[in-house]
Amino acid sequence: MRVAAAGVCHSDLHYMKGDWPIPLPAVLGHEGSAVVEAVGPGVKSVKPGDHCIIVFWPNCGRCEYCQMGRPMLCNGHPRPPGTMLDGSTRLSRQGQPVHHMAAVACFAEHAVIHEEQLLVIDDSVPLDRAALVGCSVTTGVGAALNTARVRAGSSVAVIGCGGVGLSVIQGARLQGAGRILAVDLFPEKLEMATAMGATDALDAHAEDLVRQVKRLTGGGVDYAFDAIGLPATLKQALDVLRPGGTAVAVGIGRFGEPAPIDAFSLVMQEKALLGSFYGSARPRVDMPRILDLYRQGRLQLDALLTRHYPLERINEAYADLQGSQAGRGVISFG
Ligand SMILES: [Zn+2]
Ligand SMILES: [Zn+2]
């Protein structure tokens, strides 16, 4: 594959910081789009010249989870971490294996990717926009549509307004949510959240954030999404719920880190807590739908994509990800 664009996602940062384990050395990058240059023997579903979204979580289609429509839980490819589906690597340095993040490793001009992880798209879709659908957009939109199934007229809080949080907001808007409260530390991000459909913008620094949410919504929201993944933000997502509400954990925290949860109110107020990985997506169903919504002007990808960087400036891109700049950045190739 000739990589076209690779999104600057927080998951790569988790690996860089050692929050999550991956054997080293490794090439990161998992949110991407690419064009097929050549195919190996037996490849049937893609051909040279095809434009593709890279699906960073392979799904075999045959295991129990794939068959029940939950391919994000696929267990059909047991293999050592950092390897391709056959358990080996395609990258090496001085004879030693170099590992692939998510069997993708798209922070590179070229990548070897299994056909199972490629979704062919129309040539008319700009490849830099398509890259975002490979992770952040599907993760966020899917959390609202698939995991939470947000209902029309309901109230929603979204904690963290980066690429994923903005996509949750757009998903909630598409579902017809009545009130969408965006929560972030940075005014620039809250401004973009409002442009993408949030009805209220709340400063995450505010000490009385939970009270503010309850005041604005008459007792708490129906759905709260934690798009950050810190113990404190997961707790907040549960605390801002009205009785009977649903919190959705979207951002992924540090491996093995516990979160403080008020178990008393979880039970007494019948709150629900759901994990949402990759938007609980069925990539071959959900990604084409997302692109259709984009084509119809109902889902904003152009405004979401705010920065392009050449590969040489990737460290700057990751510094920006942790700063105040709103929207998603991509590494662009050629
Ligand atoms: Zn990602
Ligand atoms: Zn499977």
Per-residue pLDDT tens digits for 136-153: 999 999 999 999 999 999
What pLDDT digit, counting tens, does each position of 265-295 carry?
999 999 999 999 999 999 999 999 999 999 9
Of residues 232, 223, 229, the one with CA closest to residue 249: 229
| Average of per-residue pLDDT across 104-116 | 97
- Ligand 1 centroid to Cα of residue 270, in Å, is 31
Percent of the chain with pLDDT over 90: 96
- Ligand 1 centroid to Cα of residue 104, in Å, is 12
- Ligand 1 centroid to Cα of residue 183, in Å, is 20
What pLDDT digit, counting tens, does each position of 12-61 carry?
999 999 999 899 999 999 999 999 999 999 999 999 999 999 999 999 99
Q: Among all ligands shown, which has an atom nearest to the Cα of 70?
A: 2
133 contacts 287 by C-beta, under 8 angstroms: yes
The length of the chain in residues reads: 334
State how far the Cα of 241 lies from the Cα of 247, in Å rounded to an integer.
Answer: 7
Q: Judge whether residue 191 has pLDDT over 90.
A: yes
| Average of per-residue pLDDT across 227-234 | 96
State how far the Cα of 305 lies from the Cα of 314, in Å rounded to an integer.
Answer: 16
- Ligand 1 centroid to Cα of residue 9, in Å, is 5
| H helix intervals, the chain | 10-17, 64-67, 127-133, 136-142, 163-174, 187-195, 209-217, 231-239, 263-268, 283-295, 314-321
- Ligand 1 centroid to Cα of residue 31, in Å, is 6
146 contacts 281 by C-beta, under 8 angstroms: yes
| Average of per-residue pLDDT across 227-237 | 96
- Ligand 1 centroid to Cα of residue 163, in Å, is 9
What pLDDT digit, counting tens, does each position of 158-171 carry?
999 999 999 999 99
275 beta partners: 249
- Ligand 2 centroid to Cα of residue 331, in Å, is 30
pLDDT band of residue 302 (cuts 50, 70, 90) is: very high
* Structural domains of the chain ordered from first start: 2-136+281-332 (3.90.180.10), 149-275 (3.40.50.720)
- Ligand 1 centroid to Cα of residue 235, in Å, is 22
3-state helix, strand, coil in the chain (%, to 5): 35, 20, 45
CA end-to-end span of the chain: 13
The two three-digit tokens of residue 217, written as one number: 């919504």
pLDDT band of residue 253 (cuts 50, 70, 90) is: confident
φ, ψ dihedrals at 63, nearest 5°: -75, 170
Percent of the chain with pLDDT over 70: 100
Q: Among all ligands shown, which has an atom nearest to the Cα of 131?
A: 1
- Ligand 1 centroid to Cα of residue 136, in Å, is 6
- Ligand 1 centroid to Cα of residue 10, in Å, is 6
- Ligand 2 centroid to Cα of residue 116, in Å, is 11
Give this prediction's pTM. 0.97
Predicted confidence at residue 313, as pLDDT, reads 97
